[in-house]
Amino acid sequence: MLDIPNYNNILLEIQTYCLLNLPNDGSTFSHIPVPPLIDSSPYLKEWLVASNLQVRACAVIRYPTSEVADDPHIDSTQNDLALNFPIENCSNCWTVFYKLNKGSFQSKPLPNGLLYNALSDDAEIVEVSRFSLITSTLINVKQLHQVWNPTDQLRISASLRFERDPWELI
């Protein structure tokens, strides 16, 4: 959890913008344009300026209802850190982090053409920790992780990636 001034206002801005601009590309992970998000979010913009942060990318992450989680993976992004925000149905879902004991990673495409690094078929992993996304959370997306949605509702979150990793927020 991060101590972000005006957090409730920032969260409402992000939730509103993302829900009004959900991409229809059939993917769980989709980029949305950053300038309109920032322009329509005065509280977010104020916090970014005060924190000396520039948003490089914003993604909407949608996990369908299922008893099966997405594949354990690491993100194929230039950044290590992502600042994630709950949009809808995040409290009864969780993100799990793992340690890879055996196996390797292989690049796989999402339906929209973006790539992620999935595990080989011979992989053996062990759970290290888990959390529910109930507030803004800074995560290291270069650590092996997956999202579980055991509910009967779509889980939607937003993920901000910055020009530089904001390690000082930890």
**What CATH number does residue 14 fall under?**
2.60.120
Contact 4/45 with Cβ under 8 angstroms? no
Cα–Cα distances (Å) from 43 to 9, 55, 121, 136, 158, in that order, read 6, 14, 45, 15, 16
In-domain check, residue 42: yes
**Res. 115: pLDDT tops 80:** no
In-domain check, residue 1: no
Of the CA atoms within 13 Å of residue 66, those in its CB half-sphere come to: 11
Is the backbone of residue 113 left (phi > 0), alpha (psi -120 to 50) or beta? left
Structural domain harbouring 115? 7-164
In-domain check, residue 169: no
Q: 63 burial class (0-12, 13-18, 19+ CB within 10 angstroms)? A: buried
In-domain check, residue 170: no
Q: Which of 148, 117, 144 lies closest to 133, judged by CA?
A: 148
How many domains does one find in the chain?
Answer: 1
The string of pLDDT tens digits covering residues 27-69 is: 888 999 999 999 999 999 999 999 999 999 999 999 888 765 5
**Res. 71: pLDDT tops 90:** no
